[in-house]
Amino acid sequence: MTDSVREKPRLRETDWRLLRRLFPYARQNSRLLAIALVMLIPLSLSDAIQPILVGQAISLIRGEPTMDFLQERTLEQGLNLLVGLLLVTILVQLSLNGVQNF
């Protein structure tokens, strides 16, 4: 038999063991890790808001009920506001992704 067949099987490491092995590296870069975790909140919010804004725009065009802040506006004003908000969420997402991946 070859040496590779005679070798003892390696013990499988659990997720907790692997996580404990990674802690020293996380401590070395704790500041960057904290910044990345804090940036996840606005990234997730901007990501979640985008489909809502598109849905509100569709509802506004079809004449269906929309959110309160849109009901007092004309179609043009409502669409301009939604497009502006969508643009802001996209810019926030792009800028924070760029900083986070840098």
Contact residues for 59 (Cβ-Cβ < 8 A; gap 6+): 65, 66
3-class DSSP state for residue 60?
Answer: helix
4 pLDDT tier (thresholds 50, 70, 90):
low
| pLDDT attached to residue 66 | 92
pLDDT above 90 coverage of the chain, percent:
49
35 pLDDT tier (thresholds 50, 70, 90):
confident
Assign residue 56 a region (left: φ > 0; alpha: ψ between -120 and 50; beta: otherwise). alpha
- Reported as a single tens digit per residue, the pLDDT across 87-101 is 999 999 999 888 877
Flag whether pLDDT at 16 surpasses 60.
yes
pTM of the model: 0.67
Contact residues for 85 (Cβ-Cβ < 8 A; gap 6+): 49, 53
| pLDDT attached to residue 92 | 92
What whole-number distance in Å separates Cα of residue 10 and Cα of residue 60?
A: 61
- Reported as a single tens digit per residue, the pLDDT across 36-66 is 888 889 999 999 999 999 999 999 999 999 9
